């Protein structure tokens, strides 16, 4: 075996993802790439994938762009490599047979059209004309994309591999990676039976083996293989290769031509995890014994959509493993544990239809030092290490695969693998009947007084009145919120202040007393890596608080930036509860609890006595009112909670959940990283220029921010959008139009109970014009919601208390 001693990048895994990463690295100019496949190319999952090429269906701009790029790449690859990808743009139809699914697809269709997907809503009769074998009597509509279709996964992989080789990549089959080399927190290469290979970057594209490969390197890759089924019928009259792909999630099935018959694929409602302990190393082109008894009900339901399949002979009934993640998003990006160790795995059955885009995005990240697409929803560091535990994977995967074809109603949450993390107040507030949801594994109250849940729909949930009452209490009196899930870090040392000043766009150190600073951490390109608060406690001691989803991302960035300095970051999240007292009467309640007058100024920080506890009190708000965040040692959280409740009697204090937090912050236009701002947004377009201290001599991204300012007024920016019809509801992805022309879409939304309508944050693009309030007001603004157009108004300043007088009172 002629194994190179070194390569700049080693890619592990020769499926569609690994070959795509190698191809795109070479295309980006990184040609010193070695791809190692322990068996043969396409081994594992790629060889038996169904090969659907579908651009319709996602409310994620990132996912939609990955799909579009992939389809276009497969269409052009043969001209470059001489090898066909088997792409056949025969069309694709998604059908809806119930109102909930119909509304979802109308929402998705508008969003997808905004991004350039040529999707059309068609009648059941038109579905029948395009796919004559389908039963259409119960359908409400179909959604048709003429340019979508299918490809051959093996051909795609071989074409990508040839394209990579033509550009200088070395691809070796029959070479297993058995270990990872590292120096400190940085990967330095891989081990193989034929010797070690030094590398600057290692990319784990090992598919369903990625978890095991990651564990050997000390990297957490939560994914699990599960059984995936399809059957292929004998030839059927009337079936041709030009027939469109038909997908009917309500019947658990998808259908496409195969060898003159039909391939009937299934995503059952309750899945079967496979090989939870360990995926066998030699399982390269293996199949699994089908479980007919378990699958017969799903299969019968799917085949009822195409009745002729119930009579046709079955040529093949196939069962093979595919890997799924806890939240059905890929595991993608640089690991937080090991620098320069990247992962692209856990594709959740859409590896072929996103493979080109995934490879391009990861290659860009490696070549340029940062991603050029929003990765917040699929970044590996969003996932927690415990999610790779056997019991967690075994339980969550049963439900996760079933969600692929479920209707994605708002507020829908996973019910499996719950109760993994509890706030110290969990049992204390149980008598208040909280309706809880999973928050990065924490069981947190969404609303109180409604523990029974709510029927899923696109309308107002059954707990809407409780939500409105909690929201109103925050505006009129005060609320108590358990925010213990927030990520908390203690940073200390002689170099702590200097290091945090370099990380932070705002000034966070050098104050005479405790001071809270809202700031962003940027990358060299001036786009946002984190959105958080830094509190100076002393000259050499700081308190950093970030959201739960950014927990591992922020901690990894901290540790890496502090390396080699006299500065140390400690994750103290589990050691401190966070209780927020927010609202106009919060000061008097806090004074009653502390037994002293509260004179803390806005953004002030001080230690406070409450009962027998000493708590860190920060005067800061995320709801747009006078308010305080209290950080309490976990063992004293119940005691402090009880003291606050007693002090709040007669002052209108009410417990409030996360739904109220969301609606209150949205009325105020406060940002939430990973929801309405992300790593592709520059800090000025995100409307956060007020939190940037350009008078500082240096911080990461400063030059990029200055360059952006020098280019002149903004033509693109994040604004608040309010729908004027109080009955309408916004969730995410609704298209915004100005004068009838698409100008953007809603990134995140809630219901503005004080404003009297649904309110969201939307990134709008004015093209060549200056996007200011005059531009927003010059022409009528509308929002499309499930095919219906609603009048709206937009504002650059917060719609609620634009001068922030209530915050600073």
Token pair recorded at residue 454: 């709510």
Looking up tokens 């390396």, which residue turns up?
A: 563
Name the β-bridge partners of 227.
Answer: 321
**CA gap 51, 478 in Å, rounded:** 55
CB 757 within 8 A of CB 666: no
577: nearest Cα among 655, 511, 481: 481
Instruction: Report the pLDDT value the prediction gives residue 105, as an integer from 0 to 100.
Output: 98
202: nearest Cα among 172, 179, 169: 179
**CA gap 498, 536 in Å, rounded:** 12
**CA gap 515, 363 in Å, rounded:** 41
H/E stretch holding 152 reads: none
Token pair recorded at residue 220: 């957490």
Task: Sketch out the chain's domains with CATH numbers.
Answer: 6-368 (3.50.50.60), 713-795 (2.40.30.110)
Angle between helices 351-368 and 153-166 (to 10 degrees): 20
**CA gap 514, 607 in Å, rounded:** 9
**CA gap 170, 5 in Å, rounded:** 12
Contacts of 773 (CB under 8 A, 6+ apart): 795, 796, 797
Residue burial 375-410, b: 16+ Cβ < 10 Å; e: rest: bbbbbbbbbbeebbeeebbebbbbbbbbbbbbbbbe
Three-state secondary-structure class, residue 222: coil
657: nearest Cα among 708, 627, 623: 623
What global pTM score does this model have?
A: 0.97
Token pair recorded at residue 677: 């701002």
**CA gap 306, 254 in Å, rounded:** 10
733: nearest Cα among 58, 46, 26: 58
Longest Cα–Cα distance in the chain: 85
Three-state secondary-structure class, residue 714: coil
pLDDT along the chain (809 residues), means of 10: 95 98 98 98 97 98 98 98 98 98 98 98 98 98 98 98 98 98 97 98 98 98 97 96 97 98 97 97 95 94 97 94 98 98 98 98 98 98 98 98 96 95 98 95 96 85 96 98 98 98 98 97 98 98 98 98 97 98 98 97 98 98 98 98 97 98 98 98 98 97 98 98 98 98 98 98 98 98 97 98 97
Contacts of 339 (CB under 8 A, 6+ apart): 185, 186, 187, 560
Question: Among the residues of 387-482, which ranges form H helices?
Answer: 390-400, 464-476
User: Looking at the chain, how many residues does it have?
Assistant: 809
**CA gap 58, 48 in Å, rounded:** 24
Q: How many CA atoms lie within 13 A of 444 on its CB side?
A: 22
Three-state secondary-structure class, residue 734: coil
Contacts of 313 (CB under 8 A, 6+ apart): 233, 234
Looking up tokens 């949930």, which residue turns up?
A: 461
504: nearest Cα among 561, 569, 552, 547: 561
Name the β-bridge partners of 247.
Answer: 94, 254
Looking up tokens 């002629």, which residue turns up?
A: 2
The DSSP-derived string for 767-804 is TTS--SHHHHHHS-EEEEETTEEEEEEEESS-SSSTT-
**CA gap 304, 135 in Å, rounded:** 8
**CA gap 269, 400 in Å, rounded:** 9
Instruction: Report the pLDDT value the prediction gives residue 276, as an integer from 0 to 100.
Output: 98
Instruction: Report the pLDDT value the prediction gives residue 299, as an integer from 0 to 100.
Output: 96
493: nearest Cα among 560, 564, 557: 564
648: nearest Cα among 723, 561, 584, 704: 584
How many CB atoms within 10 Å of residue 19?
A: 32
735: nearest Cα among 702, 760, 698, 699: 760
379: nearest Cα among 422, 342, 426, 340: 342
**CA gap 345, 363 in Å, rounded:** 14
669: nearest Cα among 619, 718, 725, 703: 718
How many CB atoms within 10 Å of residue 196?
A: 16
Rg (CA), the chain: 27
H/E stretch holding 632 reads: strand 627-633
Contacts of 491 (CB under 8 A, 6+ apart): 499, 500, 541, 542, 543, 544, 558, 562, 567, 568, 569, 570
Instruction: Report the pLDDT value the prediction gives residue 607, as an integer from 0 to 100.
Output: 97
Name the β-bridge partners of 226.
Answer: 273, 322
Token pair recorded at residue 624: 């747009």
Q: How many CA atoms lie within 13 A of 350 on its CB side?
A: 25
Contacts of 173 (CB under 8 A, 6+ apart): 14, 37, 39, 40, 41
Looking up tokens 């080693």, which residue turns up?
A: 10
Using CA atoms in the order 132, 135, 140, 145, what is the torsion angle rounded to 10 degrees? -40
Token pair recorded at residue 362: 């990861």
Instruction: Report the pLDDT value the prediction gives residue 1, as an integer from 0 to 100.
Output: 76
Token pair recorded at residue 78: 């043969």
The DSSP-derived string for 306-351 is SGGGGTSPEEEEEEEEEEE-TTSS-EEEE-SSSBTEEEEE--TT-H
DSSP β-ladder status, 195-204 and 341-345: parallel
CB 346 within 8 A of CB 324: yes
**CA gap 90, 245 in Å, rounded:** 7
Contacts of 418 (CB under 8 A, 6+ apart): 438, 443
């Amino acid at each position: 075996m002629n194994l190179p001693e070194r390569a700049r990048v080693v890619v592990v895994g020769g499926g569609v993802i690994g070959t795509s990463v190698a191809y795109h690295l070479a295309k980006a100019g990184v040609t010193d790439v070695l791809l190692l496949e322990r068996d043969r190319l396409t081994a594992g999952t790629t060889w038996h994938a169904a090969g659907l090429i579908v651009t319709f269906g996602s409310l994620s701009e990132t996912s939609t762009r990955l799909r579009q790029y992939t389809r276009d790449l497969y269409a052009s690859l043969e001209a470059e490599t001489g090898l066909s990808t088997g792409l056949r743009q025969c069309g694709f139809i998604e059908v809806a047979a119930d109102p909930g699914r119909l509304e979802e697809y109308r929402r998705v269709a508008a969003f997808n059209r905004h991004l350039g997907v040529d999707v059309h809503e068609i009648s059941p009769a038109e579905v029948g004309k395009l796919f004559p074998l389908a039963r259409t009597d119960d359908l409400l509509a179909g959604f048709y994309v003429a340019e979508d279709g299918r490809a051959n996964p093996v051909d795609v992989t071989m074409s990508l591999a040839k394209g990579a080789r033509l550009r200088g990549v070395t691809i070796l089959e029959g070479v297993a990676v058995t270990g990872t080399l590292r120096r400190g927190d940085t990967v330095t290469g891989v081990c193989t039976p034929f010797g070690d290979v030094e590398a600057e970057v290692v990319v784990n594209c090992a598919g369903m083996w990625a978890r095991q490969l990651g564990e050997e390197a000390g990297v957490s890759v939560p994914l699990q293989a599960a059984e995936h089924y399809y059957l292929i019928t004998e030839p059927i009259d009337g079936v041709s290769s030009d027939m469109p792909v038909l997908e009917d999630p309500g019947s658990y099935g998808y259908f496409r031509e195969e060898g003159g018959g039909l391939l009937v694929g299934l995503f059952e409602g309750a899945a079967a995890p496979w090989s939870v302990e360990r995926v066998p190393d030699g399982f390269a082109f293996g199949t699994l014994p089908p479980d007919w008894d378990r699958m017969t009900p799903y299969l019968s339901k799917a085949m009822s959509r195409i009745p002729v399949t119930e009579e046709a002979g079955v040529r093949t009934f196939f069962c093979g493993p595919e890997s799924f993640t806890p939240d059905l998003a890929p595991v993608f990006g640089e690991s937080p544990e090991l620098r320069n160790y990247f992962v692209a795995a856990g594709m959740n059955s859409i590896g072929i239809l996103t493979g080109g885009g995934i490879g391009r995005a990861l290659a860009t990240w490696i070549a340029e030092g940062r991603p050029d697409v929003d990765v917040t929803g699929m970044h590996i560091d969003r996932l927690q290490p415990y999610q790779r535990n056997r019991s967690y994977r075994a339980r969550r995967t049963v439900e996760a695969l079933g969600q692929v074809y479920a209707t994605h109603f708002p507020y829908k949450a996973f019910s499996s693998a719950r109760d993994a993390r509890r706030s110290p107040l969990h049992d204390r507030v149980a008598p208040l009947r909280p309706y809880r949801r999973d928050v990065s594994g924490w069981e947190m109250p969404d609303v109180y007084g409604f523990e029974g849940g709510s029927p899923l729909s696109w309308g107002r949930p059954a707990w809407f009145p409780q939500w409105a009452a909690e929201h109103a209490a925050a505006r009129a009196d005060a609320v108590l919120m358990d925010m213990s899930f927030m990520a908390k870090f203690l940073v200390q040392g002689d170099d702590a202040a200097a290091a945090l000043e370099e990380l932070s766009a705002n000034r966070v150190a050098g104050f005479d007393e405790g001071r809270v600073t809202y700031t962003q951490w940027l990358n060299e390109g001036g786009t946002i890596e984190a959105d958080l608060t830094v509190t100076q406690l002393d000259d050499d001691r700081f308190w950093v608080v970030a959201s739960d989803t950014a927990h591992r991302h922020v901690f990894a960035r901290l540790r890496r930036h502090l390396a080699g300095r006299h500065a140390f970051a400690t994750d103290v999240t589990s050691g401190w509860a966070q209780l927020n007292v927010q609202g106009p009467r919060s000061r008097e309640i806090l004074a009653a609890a502390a037994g002293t007058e509260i004179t803390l100024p806005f953004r002030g920080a001080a230690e406070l006595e409450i009962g027998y506890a000493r708590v860190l009190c920060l005067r800061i708000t995320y709801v747009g009112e006078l308010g305080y965040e209290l950080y309490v040692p976990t063992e004293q959280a119940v005691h402090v909670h009880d003291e606050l409740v007693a002090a709040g009697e007669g002052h209108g204090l009410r417990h409030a959940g996360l739904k109220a937090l969301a609606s209150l912050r949205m009325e105020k236009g406060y940002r939430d990283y990973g929801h309405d701002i992300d790593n592709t947004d520059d800090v000025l377009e995100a409307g956060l220029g007020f939190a940037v201290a350009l008078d500082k001599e240096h911080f990461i991204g400063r030059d990029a921010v200055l360059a952006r300012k020098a280019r002149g007024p903004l033509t693109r920016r994040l604004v608040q959008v309010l729908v004027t019809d109080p009955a309408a509801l916004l969730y995410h992805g609704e298209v915004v139009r100005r004068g009838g022309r698409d100008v953007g879409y809603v990134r995140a939304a809630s219901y503005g109970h004080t404003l009297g309508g649904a309110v969201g944050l939307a990134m709008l693009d004015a093209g060549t014009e200056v996007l200011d309030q005059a531009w927003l007001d010059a022409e009528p603004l509308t929002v499309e919601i499930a095919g219906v157009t609603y009048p709206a108004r937009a504002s650059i300043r917060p719609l609620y208390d634009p001068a922030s007088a209530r915050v600073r009172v």
